Structure 1
């Protein structure tokens, strides 16, 4: 999940987590999506219109929109159905998601990159490039949390730095995670469905290099323009210079490896042992993974010196914001995902029909834009699964005969998570961390203005180059 797609991070955890509660989308009208739309608009507008109210009550706003779905749903389909939807969202998706993100947040927050980097255009571009590589190795969430703090510190003597954070979200929190199933939840979901581990790097490697390469070039030109403006650099650097660059809390790197291992184990380990938790099927691999992630987070807190957290200005504020907002998103998104899963017979049948050519063959360009458009605002992992099944659902066929279609679904789901703050979970987390460190970030629509100007032309070019 997907605040985002990210939303999609939940599907990284087990195959069944990509699915919403067992709701028949054919019985629902598009009006059931209003609570989800209302929550998105609240995230977009309230920080601008009433920032003080939002800062103190965003959790209550998320809870109110959740009730706006649950109570009418209970009246229409009965209390049992409402409880089932709530429990599936909570136990099946939200809790595993929060456990994973909290573990990554805790462990990465226990690593302090010592030394004062100076945020020149060359340095900033290099950090973004390194983050893009790390994103496919340790996931977009892990790479974002690890790299964002030293990048903020490197630019704390600059007057203009919001653009640095925006391009960080574009590159590290999204596009960089497209090369392996570890990078972004939709790709891991494809791996669980039978897509080869290295298929994505072979098939959308050129697309990733094109997108990341152009983004780095555009960023370097823009950052150079800002950097050479008069009075861009503050008279005094808030971060004092030190000797060399190093890592404090480096033992947490081993815990990052443990997190990756636990997630991979949960996908590769097949077990018939399962438990029923309030009607939700919980497999033994998923349970072992979640318990292991909690243990890793607690161990990180225990072995990380307090000084490291102080140097990182580590607080739980960004995690609390993501956890509260995602609670509402995971619940209100249930009917939206159900309507999409209903396919051609559901309320959103026109979306499904749009990706098919008149001769019945799949249209890769439409799959790219349809999966991308929905992944910009919905959970990108279930969106990936919806279009994966719409294209046939057989991994072998999709990797060969319809490789262009699967590549389009994969690229759209991952790349276009950068279109909004709620397109992928790390987006909102980076925004929260930056704002806690004093960076004035663009609002919801301000950020989308950036993505519209920078990303959409690149996506249009990619359509003609790779998905025709």
Structure 2
């Protein structure tokens, strides 16, 4: 095969840079200028604003926008620090974080899409509250996306004979699409990123279980009271239920429940199994347990696709569009965040010293309350997964220290990222997916700011109470 002159030059540059790839991990954030964070900021702002300001353009070209921001970082970075450093940085971001992250999300998305809840419930306050509570439990084991996709359609069918349904979907987003996923790394992407960074699998459930119980208990109680008020109104029920009754509730694609247990098993195995076998992939160490986990999750995904009946996928309206969007967007996020993490790790000596000081007490120790609100504020309008990474590294980025000496700080970051992702439609990926499904089924959902009015009235007071109880 004959190479063009430009292909030969690019190949020569890559080969010349290979000897330096091992040094990419030594990037000193104190030596970087703050403008290196512009591509990361542009990436997140694009995700937050373009679906609102230019929805048609974004829908067709979000992949190109993502690639443009990634190149806006990589090209100058390679020019300044060398092709080898850029290549090693990309390799580390892909191998250590991005690929495992996408593999897990794909497995959970596929398994959840292979389970269909057949039947018609009647959406009384008790039934609706029970569905929300079930979703909260499932979210920590099959992910907020998986639990949301599994239960939102049955919940809408159960309430399709009622006039007021929007509040049911809003609380579903609060509880199932966000707060419910706070107990394990399987639940929400931020926690899985923490797991990849070295946080123990059961650390979160041990350290923010009381906060989660408070949030879920409060939200379920508020929802039951509000739904009961609507239910008691005479004009609440429509003359006819659009969905015919069936004999009980049945699950189709039950084999995926077993596959879900296998997913949990592989993730647990990678956290418990310690092995001295480590593979070097482009300068990034990959432990044998992590490799086994990822291969196992890929196998589970393929098995689920093979054994799930086509009728189940059709009933769930299963498609790869949402997963493709997540994969493309996070590729840009994981690349552009490389210099941001390095600058945050530099602490008060780096260009983000003002951020570090804002969440630090006068004696130099982290302030959990400030970490909770800072993480939560950004998670409300930007994606909560990269926000978690930002403040994880702001607090030092050492999982051994964060799990012990700085446990209150890590708990605050975890709670802020997961809980406050519910504050807006764009705080967490399932939020927009649930809204889109509800509107497609005829539910008149609140506008962007209308939804924020709901979260401001319901969630913010609960977060204030949490701060005074747990994060002082």
TM more than 0.5: yes
Task: Answer yes or no: is the 8 Å Cα contact 2:345–2:397 preserved in 1.
Answer: no
3-state DSSP of counterpart to 2:251: strand
Q: What's the CA shift for 1:439?
A: 5.5
Structure 2 CA distance for partners of 1:273 and 1:421, relative to 1, 3 Å: farther
Q: What's the CA shift for 1:457?
A: 2.2
Aligned equivalent of 2:389: 382
3-state DSSP of counterpart to 2:135: helix
The reply on whether 1:111 has 2:115 as its aligned counterpart is yes
Aligned equivalent of 1:75: 79
3-state DSSP of counterpart to 1:365: helix
Range with bigger deviation, 137-146 or 106-115: 137-146
Q: What's the CA shift for 1:30?
A: 2.9
Structure 2 CA distance for partners of 1:436 and 1:386, relative to 1, 3 Å: farther
Q: What's the CA shift for 1:224?
A: 4.8
Which structure exhibits the higher relative contact order, with contacts defined as CA atoms closer than 8 Å and separated by 6 or more residues?
1
Which string of whole-angstrom CA distances, capped at 9 and with x for unpartnered residues, describes residues 104-155 of structure 1?
Answer: 1111111111101233333222211111122234443443333233223334
CA distance in 2, matches of 1:44, 1:301: 32
Which string of whole-angstrom CA distances, capped at 9 and with x for unpartnered residues, describes residues 333-375 of structure 1?
Answer: 3333332222222222222223333344443322322343454
Task: Answer yes or no: is the 8 Å Cα contact 2:118–2:250 preserved in 1.
Answer: yes
Aligned equivalent of 1:31: 35
CA distance in 2, matches of 1:419, 1:226: 23
CA distance in 1, matches of 2:52, 2:248: 41
Q: 1:354 aligns with which of 344, 354, 358?
A: 358
CA distance in 1, matches of 2:452, 2:89: 31
3-state DSSP of counterpart to 2:117: strand
Task: Answer yes or no: is the 8 Å Cα contact 1:157–1:238 preserved in 2.
Answer: yes
Task: Answer yes or no: is the 8 Å Cα contact 2:197–2:399 preserved in 1.
Answer: no
Q: 1:287 aligns with which of 275, 288, 291?
A: 291
Task: Answer yes or no: is the 8 Å Cα contact 2:266–2:293 preserved in 1.
Answer: yes
TM-score (norm 1): 0.82
CA distance in 2, matches of 1:405, 1:44: 26
The reply on whether 1:89 has 2:93 as its aligned counterpart is yes
Q: What's the CA shift for 1:303?
A: 1.1
Aligned equivalent of 1:278: 282
Structure 2: 5+ residue runs without aligned partners? 1-23
Structure 2 CA distance for partners of 1:52 and 1:267, relative to 1, 3 Å: same
Q: 1:266 aligns with which of 270, 294, 298?
A: 270
Please give the residue correspondences for 1:63-462 in structure 2 after superposition, counting only pairs within 5 Å: 63-158=67-162, 161-180=165-184, 182-184=186-188, 200-224=204-228, 237-376=241-380, 377=382, 378=384, 379-383=386-390, 385-386=392-393, 389=396, 393-394=400-401, 397-398=404-405, 404-421=408-425, 423-431=427-435, 434=438, 447-462=451-466
Task: Answer yes or no: is the 8 Å Cα contact 2:182–2:415 preserved in 1.
Answer: yes
Which string of whole-angstrom CA distances, capped at 9 and with x for unpartnered residues, describes residues 297-336 of structure 1?
Answer: 1111111111111222222222222222222222223333
CA RMSD, Structure 1 to Structure 2 (Å): 3.4
CA distance in 1, matches of 2:373, 2:48: 23
Structure 1: 5+ residue runs without aligned partners? 1-19
CA distance in 2, matches of 1:339, 1:31: 11
3-state DSSP of counterpart to 1:336: helix
Alignment length (residue pairs): 446
Which string of whole-angstrom CA distances, capped at 9 and with x for unpartnered residues, describes residues 32-58 of structure 1?
Answer: 332233233333333333333222222
TM-score (norm 2): 0.81
3-state DSSP of counterpart to 2:351: coil
3-state DSSP of counterpart to 2:279: strand
Q: What's the CA shift for 1:292?
A: 1.0
Q: What's the CA shift for 1:259?
A: 0.4
Task: Answer yes or no: is the 8 Å Cα contact 1:125–1:220 preserved in 2.
Answer: yes
CA distance in 1, matches of 2:360, 2:28: 23
Structure 2 CA distance for partners of 1:207 and 1:417, relative to 1, 3 Å: same
Which string of whole-angstrom CA distances, capped at 9 and with x for unpartnered residues, describes residues 231-290 of structure 1?
Answer: 765665443321111111111100000001111111112222232333333222222111
CA distance in 2, matches of 1:294, 1:271: 21
3-state DSSP of counterpart to 1:325: helix
* Structure (1 or 2) with the larger CA radius of gyration: 2
Aligned equivalent of 1:5: none
Aligned equivalent of 2:470: 466
CA distance in 2, matches of 1:108, 1:419: 25
